């Protein structure tokens, strides 16, 4: 309850203070449970993207289950904000084999769940295959290289566990990798090391920080974010943007590879559930 009420409001107040527009990936359950706070997010000019319904793990579900959740949440957000969502974060950053094609059918333009890079966008490749290690068989059976799958016209805005507040700063009962008592100044140093490296090595880069209202909605998290924002703002050429702006910038400079499976038109699946995807010519 804290995240959906107090945490959200505190983060919104901080973003307003620094005139920052952000992207909120909101689970359907949160959208229906905290409509007032979600309306505040939209009214403040922030982007809203998909993030499952109850933060369920896509890898643990059938395609039928994934489709039902996508359909409900896509319609929820479209109705809530008057336009279809443009992007998604898979809950737990767990991308299923079927997930990418599902994203394309629903006309999504970008994903923010994978980590093939840490500061550069790229066209997402899907369906990579490899042979898992099986100690019951001769090594020749599984000593095989990874086989690349087909390219898509879905922009991947990289995700990074090392720029996420939750693993080090949120205590979760019965979760062995949960912490919650990490000094935020240690996290701050880790995050700023990444910013400084990217800023030194790249002419253009994305800095994909992930924060949660149930983590950085607490005082120590908010004060950490304020210090980070104020440090970054001292650097020339830095701009705080939404994920959809990052997506648009990437697409303005890069064309999807020939033969890539392209996203459907936004909202088209609501009119034609049996639509067929096209390939980039």
**Consecutive 10-residue runs of the chain (281 residues): their mean pLDDT?**
98 99 99 98 99 97 97 98 97 92 96 98 95 97 96 98 95 80 96 99 98 98 99 98 99 97 92 87 79
| Full domain range(s) for residue 192 | 161-207+209-240
DSSP character string of 261-277: BPPPPTTGGGT-TT---
pLDDT of residue 202: 98
Could you tell me if 138 and 180 lie in one domain? Answer: no
Could you tell me if 43 and 150 lie in one domain? Answer: yes
How far apart, in whole angstroms, are the C-alpha atoms of residue 226 and residue 15? 9
pLDDT of residue 3: 97
Could you tell me if 29 and 134 lie in one domain? Answer: yes
In a domain, 14, yes or no: no
CATH label of the domain that carries residue 32? 3.20.20.370
pLDDT of residue 236: 96
Could you tell me if 174 and 264 lie in one domain? Answer: no
Beta bridge partners of 87: 110
Could you tell me if 220 and 247 lie in one domain? Answer: no
Could you tell me if 42 and 103 lie in one domain? Answer: yes
How far apart, in whole angstroms, are the C-alpha atoms of residue 98 and residue 113? 14
Number of domains, the chain: 2
Buried b (16+ CB within 10 A) or exposed e, 158-194: bbbeebbbbbbbbeeeeeeeeeeeeebeebbeebeeb
Could you tell me if 146 and 64 lie in one domain? Answer: yes
Could you tell me if 165 and 109 lie in one domain? Answer: no
Pairing between strand 122-125 and 87-88?
Answer: unpaired
Could you tell me if 201 and 179 lie in one domain? Answer: yes
In a domain, 150, yes or no: yes
Could you tell me if 69 and 185 lie in one domain? Answer: no
In a domain, 56, yes or no: yes
Full 3-state SS string of 165-183 = CHHHHCCCCCCCCCCCCCC
């Amino acid at each position: 309850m804290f995240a959906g009420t107090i945490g959200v409001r505190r983060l919104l107040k901080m973003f307003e203070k620094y005139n920052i527009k952000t992207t909120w990936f909101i689970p359907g359950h949160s959208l229906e449970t905290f409509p007032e706070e979600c309306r505040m997010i939209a009214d403040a000019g922030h982007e809203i993207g998909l993030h499952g319904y109850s933060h369920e793990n896509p890898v643990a579900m059938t395609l039928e289950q994934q489709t039902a959740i996508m359909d409900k949440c896509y319609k929820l957000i479209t109705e809530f904000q008057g336009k279809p969502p443009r992007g998604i974060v898979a809950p737990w950053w767990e991308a299923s084999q079927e997930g990418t094609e599902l994203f394309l059918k629903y006309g999504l333009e970008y994903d923010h769940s994978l980590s093939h890079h840490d500061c550069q966008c790229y066209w997402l490749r899907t369906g990579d295959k490899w042979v898992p290690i099986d100690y019951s068989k001769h090594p020749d059976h599984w000593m095989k290289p990874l086989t690349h799958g087909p390219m898509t016209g879905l922009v991947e805005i990289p995700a990074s566990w090392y720029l996420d507040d939750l693993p080090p700063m949120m205590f979760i009962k019965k979760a062995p990798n949960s912490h919650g008592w990490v000094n935020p100044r240690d996290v701050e140093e880790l995050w700023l090391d990444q910013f400084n490296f990217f800023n030194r090595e790249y002419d253009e880069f994305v800095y994909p920080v992930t924060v949660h209202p149930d983590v950085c909605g607490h005082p120590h998290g908010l004060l950490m974010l304020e210090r980070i924002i104020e440090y970054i703002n001292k650097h020339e050429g830095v701009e705080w943007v939404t994920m959809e702006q990052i997506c648009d910038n990437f697409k303005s400079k890069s064309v999807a590879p020939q033969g890539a499976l392209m996203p459907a038109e936004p909202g088209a699946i609501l009119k034609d559930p049996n639509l067929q995807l096209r390939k980039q010519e």
